[in-house]
Amino acid sequence: MADQLIDETDREILELLREDARRTLGDIGARVTLSTAAVKRRIDRMQENGVIVGYTVQIDHAKLGWGIEAFTELRFTGTTKVGEIVRTTTRMPEAQAVFTIAGDPDALVWLRVRDMGHLQRTIDEIRRHHQVTGTKTLMVLDSWTRGQQWPHPS
């Protein structure tokens, strides 16, 4: 459906906004050879159609003391509803995202913590949930995300 809502120029505008959502309309227009007004109309239309759902800021979490990332696989009892799986961790500030998935495991939780002790306490808290039957945690060594520039040590 999104393909019907946008064309190639819209895709270019989206990529430019994904690289830097603070770009001026004039800068975007110069890069896609459209007037500022035309770029604004296209962005407004994509917002109205739900293609653009918001804008965000990129944060260096390590500078805030939350530099360790991990993914934890969660397994639940067979009678656990998907909504309950999501609610298990969404109240935790360490949980950055929860993905319910088909098969084994039942969910994958992206965690961000201060240190290894903090990670251990977070995993212990998850395990205390009465419907969690097992966990497996994978530590993130490095990451790459499309459309984001991450500071990487040399």
Query: Looking at the whole model, is its pTM more than 0.85?
Result: no
Residue 29 CB neighbours (<10 A): 19
CATH number at residue 130: 3.30.70.920
| Same-domain pairing of 45 and 71 | no
| Same-domain pairing of 133 and 68 | yes
Length of the chain: 154
| Residue 144 belongs to a domain | no
Residue 2 phi, psi (nearest 5): -60, -35
Quick one: how far is CA 56 from the chain centroid? Answer: 11
pLDDT tens digits along 2-29: 457 799 999 999 999 988 999 999 999 9
Of residues 143 and 2, which shows the higher confidence score?
143
| Residue 55 belongs to a domain | no
pLDDT tens digits along 38-55: 999 999 999 999 999 999
Which residue range is the domain that position 88 belongs to? 61-139
Residues near 61 by Cβ (< 8 Å), separated by ≥ 6?
A: 67, 112
**How distant, in Å, are the alpha carbons of 1, 67, 87, 109, 135 from that of 98?**
25, 19, 9, 5, 14
* Total number of domains constituting the chain: 2
C-alpha neighbours within 13 Å on the C-beta side of residue 146: 2
| Same-domain pairing of 41 and 95 | no
